[in-house]
Structure 1
Amino acid sequence: MQQPPGAPQGRAWFAGVDAAGAVECVDLLQDDAPLRRGGFWAVVGDFEGPVRAWRFEHVRRRPDTPDPGAVDPHREPERTWHGPASSSWTSSLGPDAYRRRVEDVREAIRQGDVYQVNLCRVLSAPLPATDGGEPDAQALSSVLDRGNPAPYAGGVHVPARSGFDPVWVVSASPELFLRVADGHVSSGPIKGTAVTEAGLTDKDRAENIMIADMVRNDLQRVGVPGTVEVTDLLAVEAHPGLVHLVTTVRARMLPGTGWSELLAATYPPASVSGAPKSSALDHIRRVEPVPRGPYCGTIGWIDADRGTAELAVGIRGFWWRPDDGGRLAFGTGAGITWGSDPEQEWRETELKAHRLIGLASAP
């Protein structure tokens, strides 16, 4: 869909790139033909679909190692973020309901329906639009950059009055979903979270390997036979306030693989779905009371001119929606296996949410 003349333009920002002027929008799960014409596209996918991409007309790439003394003439003045009251957040699942659903998943595992399910809940708080405008996504992004720097930080904001699909998403994701470069595709699934490395358990390691196998299977669908490989197994990554176990899987892509084909093989991300993926998705639909939206989907970019992409798993991020007078939302979850303890899994969801909710909230 093309942007009507004179309509407000959107913005997208990621490590090394700023984009402005959204001029086209497409659902990549349905059609990637517009990307064959090239261009820089910002991507935001809902867990349940669609996976939308907005082409931006003006793209500025920043140097990888900028001169620390240089003045950036394009830099905008620092903005002030006005978040919701810290006491106003509510959860789609409270502690008791979440623990009961952990037991539901364990029973499904006992019955042989699934091996693992990522069980999530969505937190939200009222955040009305002001003066007819939507909240300042870039201001929140700056707050997260300072307080919780992340390897796949960024955001996309295309206002509702733009004439095509709107989006308001800010990411502080630590997890790589798909990177495409030099004819290869790689993924870095996270499974295993603790405050320190000493807190990681055998359950975390077994779960990580299970999900890495799922990613290998997904990439085999678009990879040249014999090229799918694990390049880094059970690496420990430190992030603000916690550590993760990360495994990296890589494959050489079959020549001619399109963006829609790549997503058809891999979406939604295995690490936030479960095993087997189809059965886990059915169970998620039964036990989670609200759609996840951008949470556990993806956010990132595709450079269709260069044939490159970097898409993060849509975790540790916020999205805003205008319904109910305007609400800011954040998702959190945990991977449930037969060895899960319901109370520990609840605490893991709290750990993942605590720091970022604090940063986004007013005192």
Structure 2
Amino acid sequence: MDEPTSWASFAGRLAVDVVECVDLEHDAHRLAEPGPWFVVVDFESFGRGGRARAWRFARVSDGGPPGGTSPSGSAWQGPEPGDWHSSMDRATYEAAVRRVREHVREGTVYQVNVCRVLQAPLPARGDRVTGEPDAAALAGRLAVGNPAPYAAAVHVPAGSGVDPVWVVSASPELYLSLDGGDLGSGPIKGTARTPAGLTAKDRAENVMITDLVRNDLHRVCRPGTVAVTDLLAVEEHPGLVHLVSRVHGALSETVATSADRWGSVLRATFPPGSVSGAPKSSALRIIEELETAPRGPYCGAVGWVDGGRAELAVGIRTFWWERGPHDDGVLRFGTGAGITWGSDPAAEWRETELKAARLVGLASTTSR
């Protein structure tokens, strides 16, 4: 009988044959050991109840993401379009937007990212070896229908002897990159169907979050080295456009030479500013108050670390599958919007629908 197949891909790197999994809450120093390590960090990690894990694989190549079907040749079989349900309906979400605006008026916070989680039942079937839904087939479908610069997938099935994970992402957003001591980030804030649809509110929000990311990088970089190298660039993606800025800095010698370098970097910058809010600590308290479902890998981090190089994406446009004690398996997908004083509740709801429509359509059974 075939052994369960484990693999991971990210931005053109493909790894196979999982070796081990480590808990980054306690053992982030392990990322200094030879990899490659593929990382999945829940939004609620680092003291807030989520999981932060990294899997080391035996072999890696530049083979790219999986193709349009799985290695077994099967096509993706997702939920029916009508089976998706949201953790917040429209009325609840719009009420949450109004509540954030009250917090802004009171001076508690300037911006909060408010999210909802879509889910649909998806029984453990599909891949002939693992029995789990075919992550490679979904990754291939997204690669064709919604290509993304930080596309990622990590599938370590139950029964492999290593902590399991099932995540497929079409993220357009860079959380962190590291190359030769240069630490970078590419926060996204501002989404519309076309560049003409981007508003003054979008631009103000992007500047606010870029400043937050700049402050986060200051915590682990040499004084005077952190700079915004690109501000309010317009990037086109399938079906929508984003405002993207770029921030870079040089890791401080203390952090760069620390045995726990990645622990220091993650604790200083996580969760990503673009999916939390400003000030970050106040935004996280409000998120906990308003959101009705955990985000899990959505809005967390997905990517790879290998020696002195790394790329981690913000886990947006992300699907994750789990089998619970009372179900045969559930596929989830998160969507959200940044809320400021200038937010219109109905418009913010429509933004969450815009961000979800293409990806959820691709993941549903009737997509072609």
Output the TM-score relative to the length of structure 1.
0.92
Corresponding residue number in structure 2 for 1:124: 119
How far 1:16 moved relative to its partner? Answer: 2.6
After TM superposition, the structure 1 stretch with the greater mean CA deviation from structure 2, 320-329 or 147-156, is: 320-329
Cα deviation code 1:320-346 (max 9, x no counterpart): 011222111000000000110000000
Cα deviation code 1:159-198 (max 9, x no counterpart): 1222332110001000000010021010000000000000
Corresponding residue number in structure 2 for 1:105: 100
Cα deviation code 1:105-157 (max 9, x no counterpart): 11111111111000000000110012771100010000000000000012000
Corresponding residue number in structure 2 for 1:329: 332
How far 1:356 moved relative to its partner? Answer: 0.5
Cα deviation code 1:200-255 (max 9, x no counterpart): 00000000000000000000011111000000000000000000000000001112
How far 1:296 moved relative to its partner? Answer: 0.2
| Structure 2: 5+ residue stretches without partners | 46-50
The answer on 1:318 being equivalent to 2:319 is yes
Corresponding residue number in structure 2 for 1:20: 16
Corresponding residue number in structure 2 for 1:29: 25
The answer on 1:284 being equivalent to 2:306 is no
Q: 1:80 is matched by which residue type in structure 2?
A: A
Q: 1:186 is matched by which residue type in structure 2?
A: G
List aligned pairs for 1:46-65, cutoff 5 A. Answer: 46-49=42-45, 50-62=51-63
Q: Distance in 2 between matches of 1:358 and 1:96?
A: 23
Q: 1:13 is matched by which residue type in structure 2?
A: S
After TM superposition, the structure 1 stretch with the greater mean CA deviation from structure 2, 322-331 or 263-272, is: 322-331
User: In the alignment, is the contact (CA less than 8 A) between 2:29 and 2:262 conserved in 1?
Assistant: no
List aligned pairs for 1:1-363, cutoff 5 A. Answer: 8-49=4-45, 50-62=51-63, 76=71, 78-130=73-125, 133-255=131-253, 256-257=257-258, 258-304=261-307, 307-323=308-324, 324-363=327-366
User: In the alignment, is the contact (CA less than 8 A) between 2:71 and 2:136 conserved in 1?
Assistant: no
Q: 1:296 is matched by which residue type in structure 2?
A: C
SS at match of 1:268: coil
SS at match of 2:112: strand
SS at match of 2:25: coil
Q: 2:42 is matched by which residue type in structure 1?
A: D
Q: Distance in 1 between matches of 2:138 and 2:360?
A: 11
User: In the alignment, is the contact (CA less than 8 A) between 1:230 and 1:250 conserved in 2?
Assistant: yes
User: In the alignment, is the contact (CA less than 8 A) between 1:179 and 1:185 conserved in 2?
Assistant: yes
SS at match of 1:149: coil
Q: Distance in 1 between matches of 2:84 and 2:332?
A: 9
Output the TM-score relative to the length of structure 2.
0.91
User: In the alignment, is the contact (CA less than 8 A) between 2:29 and 2:263 conserved in 1?
Assistant: no
Q: How many residues align?
A: 346
After TM superposition, the structure 1 stretch with the greater mean CA deviation from structure 2, 318-327 or 126-135, is: 126-135
SS at match of 2:297: coil
Q: Distance in 2 between matches of 1:93 and 1:36?
A: 40
After TM superposition, the structure 1 stretch with the greater mean CA deviation from structure 2, 75-84 or 117-126, is: 75-84
Cα deviation code 1:3-57 (max 9, x no counterpart): xxx9745210122311111111112232223223211000001000122100001
Q: Distance in 1 between matches of 2:114 and 2:73?
A: 37
Give the 3 Å change call, closer, same or farther, for CA 265–7 of structure 1 in structure 2: farther
User: In the alignment, is the contact (CA less than 8 A) between 1:171 and 1:316 conserved in 2?
Assistant: yes
After TM superposition, the structure 1 stretch with the greater mean CA deviation from structure 2, 108-117 or 156-165, is: 156-165
Q: Distance in 2 between matches of 1:174 and 1:224?
A: 28
Corresponding residue number in structure 1 for 2:48: none
SS at match of 2:321: strand
User: In the alignment, is the contact (CA less than 8 A) between 2:23 and 2:54 conserved in 1?
Assistant: yes
SS at match of 1:164: coil
SS at match of 2:27: coil
SS at match of 2:26: coil
Cα deviation code 1:243-278 (max 9, x no counterpart): 000000000111225011110110010000000001
Segments of 4+ moved more than 6 angstroms: none
User: In the alignment, is the contact (CA less than 8 A) between 1:118 and 1:335 conserved in 2?
Assistant: yes
How far 1:76 moved relative to its partner? Answer: 4.1
